[in-house]
Amino acid sequence: DSGSVTASPRQQDTEYLCPVQIGSPAQTLPLDFDTGSSDLWVFSTDTPRSEVNGQTVYDASSSSSAKRLSGATWKISYGDGSSSSGIVYLDTVTVGGLTVSRQAVEAAKQVSSSFSRDTSSSGLLGLAFSSINTVSPNQQKTFFDNAMPHLDAPLFTADLKHNADGRYNFGYIDKSAYTGSISYTPVDNSQGFWGFTATVDGTDVTGIADTGTTLIYLPDSIVTSYYSQVSGARYDSSNAGYIFPCGSSMPDFSFNVGGGGGGGGTVTVPGSYVNFAPTDQTGQTCFGGLQSDSSIGISIFGDIALKAAFVVFDGGNKQLGWAAK
């Protein structure tokens, strides 16, 4: 089997949403595919009206294939402080033509304000490792984990783009989607994430590949060194990050992956991607797409980095592949 689904950017590449079919007859919900978490959760008819703000909701009672997972609950919180929780159904889930029957679909009975405010997203589809799925008392598998044994190849790829539709493919590598060769590096999934080590300016950085996080968060030394090249750039505590004049031309930001015998490959994030967004309506000052990880405790290669590459999430061999495109 295989699948292929479009990933559409929302709000200046803040997140990428993909249409997912749930239930019988199919209910199509736009979900945020998230390689940094492992719960498939959705706004539902169980979500308080006061917390629903235009999102499409899942109605298990109108799906003939939905079965309540009796006694199961879930509760998740994300790095940005957002959270959600609820109950669990098993239902049929299809992504880009790839179907998993009896997928745990986690229906929200509560969502935090940032999810309520995110009117275009109906929830998340977790693509990290099932070891961090939050369903209790019986932990559930991710869509990818359930699909993997049926896939032509045990992997999925992420091809996110700046201000344009990209794609997630399951079960195969589309050779027309990248240039040059794919450089692979081992994955450390001990914390449930797609953990890997890259080299930035000769310094090893261990972080995670997280499609659900918008920006890049790296050690302070690397971030400070990058912005020292930009006149007028500074750390601004009121914005809790590095800002700079919007007219600045930003240096490219590169990192090396798979630096073994073959020398590995270099991913180059165009400077324009690092000029992420204005801090206010005046458009004078802009917020950087590269920020410090010091308040997080882990380095994150988020969408700013991922959209500069074609990325292979290889669950069979536990490795990450990176290619230019």
The region of 87-95, 147-155, 205-213, 278-286 touching ligand 601 under the rule CB under 6 A is: 205-213
Residues 6 or more apart in contact with residue 164 via CB below 8 angstroms:
9
Determine, following the binding rule CB under 6 A, whether residue 174 of this chain makes contact with ligand 601: no
Out of 210, 293, 303, 314, pick the active-site residue: 210
Q: Give the interface segment with ligand 601, choosing from 134-142, 158-166, 210-218, 251-259 (CB under 6 A).
A: 210-218
By CB under 6 A, name the one of 19, 79, 186, 251 that touches ligand 601.
Answer: 79
- Compute the least distance from the CB of residue 127 to ligand 601, in Å: 10
Tell me how far, at minimum, the Cβ of 209 lies from ligand 601, in Å.
10
DSSP reduced 3-state for 220: helix
Does position 210 interact with ligand 601 (CB under 6 A)? The reply is: yes
Comparing C-alpha atoms, which of 138, 131, 55 is closest to residue 104? 138
Residue 34 binding ligand 601, by CB under 6 A: yes
Which position has the token pair 């990050």? 241
DSSP 50: G
Cβ atoms of residues 309 and 273 within 8 Å: no
State how far the Cα of 77 lies from the Cα of 98, in Å rounded to an integer. Answer: 28
Element (H, E) at 146: helix 143-147
Q: Which is nearer to ligand 601, 13 or 118 (CB)?
A: 118
Token pair listed for 311: 């990325």
Taking CB under 6 A as the rule, does residue 235 contact ligand 601?
no
Catalytic, out of 32, 34, 118, 303: 34
Long-range Cβ pairs for the range 117-121 (8 Å, 24+): 117/53, 118/15, 118/55, 119/53, 119/54, 119/55, 120/10, 120/11, 120/17, 120/30, 120/55, 121/10, 121/15, 121/17, 121/30, 121/31, 121/32, 121/55
Of 82, 110, 239, 317, the one binding ligand 601 by CB under 6 A: 82
d(CA 156, CA 23) in angstroms, rounded, equals 23
Q: Which is nearer to ligand 601, 34 or 91 (CB)?
A: 34
Closer residue to ligand 601, CB minimum distance, 18 or 230: 18
Does 192 bind ligand 601 (CB under 6 A)? Our answer is no
Told to check if 293 binds ligand 601 by CB under 6 A, we report: no
DSSP letter at 248 equals P
Establish if 83 lies at the interface with ligand 601 (CB under 6 A): no
What SS3 class is residue 49?
Answer: helix
Site string for ligand 601, 107-126 (x = CB under 6 A): -------xx--x--x-----
Task: Candidates 13, 32, 91, 145: give the one binding ligand 601 (CB under 6 A).
Answer: 32
Cα 140 from Cα 104, distance rounded (Å): 6
Asked if 38 touches ligand 601 (CB under 6 A), the answer is no
Q: Is 174 a catalytic residue?
A: no
Q: Which residues pair with 3 in a beta bridge?
A: 170
β-pair partners for 31: 18
Q: Pick between residue 116 and residue 146 the one whose CB is nearest to ligand 601.
A: 116
Catalytic residue list contains 210:
yes
> 160 near 148, Cβ under 8 Å?
no
* Smallest separation, CB 17 to ligand 601 (Å): 10
> Residue 26 CB, nearest distance to ligand 601 (Å)?
24
Residues that bind ligand 601 (CB under 6 A): 32, 34, 36-37, 78-80, 82, 114-115, 118, 121, 210, 212-213
Among all residues, which ones are annotated catalytic? 34, 210
